[in-house]
Amino acid sequence: MTTIAISDVSVPDESPIAIQVTRNGRDRVYRSTGYAAGWVTLVLMGLIGGFLLYRSFDAFRYEGLRFFTETRWLPNASGGVFGIAALLLGTVLIAAVALVLAVPIAIGTALFITEYAPRRLRKVLTSAIDLLAAVPSLIYGIWGASILQSKVVYVSRFLSDHFGWFPPFHTTPFSGSGHTTLADFSASAFLAGIVVALMSLPICTAVIREVFSQAPPGEKEGALALGATRWGVIRDVVLPFGKGGIIGGSMLGLGRALGETVAVALIISRTTNVHNLLQLLKTGGNSIAATIARSWSEASGIQTSALMAAGLVLFGVTLAINAAASFVVARSRSGAATEI
Amino acid sequence: MTTIDLANPDVEEDPDPSDAVAPLGEALIRIRRLDPDSVITYCGAAFSALALAWLIYERFAPFSGGLGFLVVAWTAFCIIVYSLCRQQWGKIAARDHLVRLLVASMAMLALIPLGSIVFTVVQRGYHGLQPSFLTHTMAGAASLSKFSQGGAWHSIVGSFEVVGIAMLISVPLGVMTAVFLNEIGGRLARPVRTLTDAMSAVPSVVAGLFIFAVLIQPQYLKATGFAGALAISILMVPTVTRTAEVVLRLVPGGLREASFALGGSEWNTTKQVVLPTARTGLVTAVVLGVARVVGETAPLIITMIGAQQFNGNPFRGLQDALPLFIWSDKVNSTGQGVVDTWMWSGACVLLAIVLVLFVAARVLGNRSGLGAVPRVRRQR
């Protein structure tokens, strides 16, 4: 046994050292490229808002604050009269119809996929719903205008005849004879709403399904062990847990529904008559995006600027709704977790 | 057998082997399966609902049409199932049955339109899948021409060029942004992620307006295929970024650490470990991005306008694309005649392209081994 002199053992320096990262030239290029790509997104979003605002300046200067209250949309080469009110109202009404139809179906589908369906059917259904999202909106538009319309006019007439006391279903016929004909119900906001509902269904379903599938299994099993039925589990565990997801998914769907363009443009016959707009079943509706798409080819000068202003409003509204939706979804995920 | 006999000396030898495993006379319960009672209940309810609907429809009420019949029959079915279950098993079980029925029919309801769309487009548009439609252009074709005199060749070429250019722009940008979000990170990552989400919600028509406002109105660029491709890139970048980010997140962290431990630099790790591992997933991201934008119409109406004749140069002169072909046919269509047939044929070709891309994305996604099958995002 040799003895070791105490001085031979190197005592580690107790003081902490700073971790230094040295990067070679390639890494620096790599990192700055990454940062640049990140900045592109930020800058692009800023530019979109900025340029729309800049190009719509003429329209805002011409109309002033009346732009937000005027219902007519009659811009012409020398100015004319135009305002966003009727367009925005029409957009909101179509989106509202879409949501009323899409959200219950989305909740049902999400519940079926997460709680009821056997594994194989679950895969098939998920694919089918995703496929619904992949179909181009243009095809929804021509399908809605030619196939769905011939069916929906009967539904509209039925609703108007038997539920006309409910204000949105009330329909005054175009001809003064007092009785509605099928022609009064074609190209309506209701029809556009149904088609938009189909298009926002996948995003609603996807978000809601995601949240439902994260419902704590411990609580679900606990409820089952206490003798609850499947509906009992859904009502007392899954739905309360998924409330945020339902709200968030609906809002994301709303964002999509508001921005829908060609499908709506191909289906509705545009009107800015507020009375007509409020009669959902009746021919005639409106939407910002559809107006832009439909009147773009004839626009020049201040008309272009007016359409830019309309686009800016649409951009702002969609952004606000999406921001709110992601906030709600994010909160529901972090806050609702349980200890089990 | 013997144990049962010992416990219950009265029991004779049971011919049913399933009882043999059951402990002490308790029958096995199969979970998640409808018992015969329920099956009989449902069948009976279906039969009586149909009969009742027929009675209401044909004898009492002044309704007509197949849709109404289905609604009446379905409502009757729900009510009858509920009351039958309630009689047999009580209120709570009946409610459970009713909800199961409602939820299942909601899910089926969502599938009917999908079937109808695919069926309609194929039925009305299968003419499109013939040589003359795929080789002719609309130059010289009018509403009284024969079907074979017009075609979508110019639009198909235009669509491929526009989407190709959009891919060249948005795939590197999208993947690089995803790499930034996932591999580099930092303080900038949060706002970038939020804004990517926001960008994926930008209405497509606004993307078109933006390119017009920035490039076409100040005359830097004319309405060309390239302008359309730029507009479409704005819609494609967020889709690619979000899907690619999901895929990159699934690359196991151990692989990265192993690379660093072997002395790999950040760039080498990304290039030689992360990206190759996620390769199939990234291809899926690109395919989904393409599927998202190939049918976009609104931005193209604003930035590309469209054309009747062939133009292979996306940087000069007006160019057509498949969605524009369908759009202009629909706007000019009278509901029947040859223009309508062209429209449905164009729709059929477009739907076929989308379906092929969709299936490709699924197959690649399943093969990636990372378990990620990201979804197509809703398009507007």
Q: What is the DSSP letter of B13?
A: P
What are the chain B neighbours of A143 within 8 Å (beta carbons)?
Answer: 116-117, 120-121
Report for A279-288, A327-336, B139-148: range of highest mean pLDDT: A279-288
Cα–Cα distances in angstroms (integers) from residue B216 to residues B79, B210, B211, B231, B328, in the given order = 61, 9, 7, 11, 22
* Helix, strand, or coil (residue A50): helix
Q: List pLDDT tens digits, range A138-182.
A: 899 889 888 888 888 888 887 887 787 887 777 777 766 667 777
CA–CA dist B307, B189 (Å, integer): 42
For residue A116, give the nearest of B103, B207, B379 by CB distance. B103
CA angle at residue A60 from A58 to A64, to 5 degrees?
A: 130
Q: What is the pLDDT of residue B61?
A: 65
Q: In a structure prediction context, what are the per-residue pLDDT tens digits for chain B, which is 380 residues long?
A: 334 444 444 444 444 444 444 455 566 766 656 677 778 888 888 888 888 888 887 777 666 667 778 888 888 888 888 888 888 888 888 888 889 889 888 888 888 888 889 998 888 888 767 777 777 777 766 666 676 777 778 888 888 888 989 999 999 999 999 999 888 878 888 888 888 888 888 888 888 888 888 888 787 877 888 888 999 999 889 888 888 888 888 888 888 888 889 988 888 888 888 888 888 778 878 887 887 788 888 888 888 887 777 777 777 778 888 888 888 888 777 667 777 788 888 888 888 888 888 888 778 766 655 544 444 444 44
Q: List pLDDT tens digits, range A101-140.
A: 999 999 999 999 888 888 888 888 888 888 888 888 889 9
Q: How many CB contacts within 8 angstroms connect chain A with chain B?
A: 284
* Helix, strand, or coil (residue B286): helix
Q: What is the DSSP letter of B146?
A: -
What does the DSSP assignment read for B212-231? IIIIITTTSS-S-HHHHHHH
Q: What is the pLDDT of residue B373?
A: 40
Q: Are the beta carbons of B67 and A155 separated by less than 8 Å?
A: yes
- Say yes or no: B92 contacts chain A, CB-CB below 8 A: yes
Q: What is the pLDDT of residue B173?
A: 92
Cα–Cα distances in angstroms (integers) from residue B188 to residues A127, B59, B184, B185, B198, in the given order = 35, 70, 10, 7, 16
Given a contact cutoff of 8 angstroms between Cβ atoms, the answer to whether B105 and B73 are in contact is: no
CA angle at residue A64 from A58 to A65, to 5 degrees?
A: 140
- Say yes or no: A230 contacts chain B, CB-CB below 8 A: yes
pLDDT greater at residue A41 or residue B379: A41
Given a contact cutoff of 8 angstroms between Cβ atoms, the answer to whether A210 and A245 are in contact is: yes
Q: What is the pLDDT of residue A5?
A: 54
- Whether A20 has a pLDDT exceeding 70, the answer reads yes
Q: What is the pLDDT of residue B371?
A: 43
57-86 in chain A: CB under 8 A from chain B:
none
- Say yes or no: B65 contacts chain A, CB-CB below 8 A: yes
Residue B187 burial (CB < 10 Å; 0-12/13-18/19+)?
exposed
Q: What is the pLDDT of residue B380?
A: 41
Residue showing tokens 């096995």: B28
Q: What is the pLDDT of residue B31?
A: 61
Q: Are the beta carbons of A322 and B198 separated by less than 8 Å?
A: yes
CA–CA dist A42, B277 (Å, integer): 28
CA–CA dist A166, A39 (Å, integer): 51
Cα–Cα distances in angstroms (integers) from residue A298 to residues A292, A301, B305, B309, in the given order = 10, 10, 11, 21
Cα–Cα distances in angstroms (integers) from residue A229 to residues A220, A226, B91, in the given order = 11, 9, 11
Q: What is the pLDDT of residue B10?
A: 45
User: HSE (CB half, 13 Å, CA atoms) of B23?
Assistant: 0
CA–CA dist A165, A157 (Å, integer): 13
- Whether A78 has a pLDDT exceeding 80, the answer reads no
3-state SS string over B155-207?
Answer: HHHHHHHHHHHHHHHHHHHHHHHHHHHHHHCCCCHHHHHHHHHHHCCCCHHHH
| pTM for the predicted model, two decimal places | 0.82
Residue showing tokens 């089952």: A224
Q: What is the pLDDT of residue A105?
A: 92
114-153 in chain B: CB under 8 A from chain A:
114, 116-117, 120-121
**Averaged over A197-216, what is the pLDDT?**
86
Report for A14-18, A298-302, B33-37, B92-96: range of highest mean pLDDT: B92-96
Q: What is the CA radius of gyration of chain A?
A: 28
15-44 in chain A: CB under 8 A from chain B:
23-24, 26-27, 29-31, 33-42, 44
- Say yes or no: B224 contacts chain A, CB-CB below 8 A: no
The two structure tokens encoding residue A220: 């679900």
Q: What is the pLDDT of residue A21?
A: 75
- What mean pLDDT, rounded, does chain A reach? 82
B189 Cβ contact list (under 8 Å, min separation 6): A38, B180, B181
Confidence band (pLDDT; 50, 70, 90) for A203? Answer: confident
The two structure tokens encoding residue A296: 């773009």
Q: What is the pLDDT of residue B12?
A: 43
What are the chain A neighbours of B343 within 8 Å (beta carbons)?
Answer: 142
Q: What is the pLDDT of residue B196?
A: 86
What are the chain A neighbours of B210 within 8 Å (beta carbons)?
Answer: 47-48, 51-52
Q: Are the beta carbons of B111 and A125 separated by less than 8 Å?
A: yes
Contacts of range B328-331, beta carbons closer than 8 Å, 24 or more positions apart: B330/A141, B330/A142, B330/A145, B330/A266
B282 Cβ contact list (under 8 Å, min separation 6): B175, B244, B247, B275
- Say yes or no: A182 contacts chain B, CB-CB below 8 A: no
What does the DSSP assignment read for A57-116? HHHHHHHGGGGGT---EEEETTEEEE-SHHHHHHHHHHHHHHHHHHHHHHHHHHHIIIII
- Say yes or no: B305 contacts chain A, CB-CB below 8 A: yes
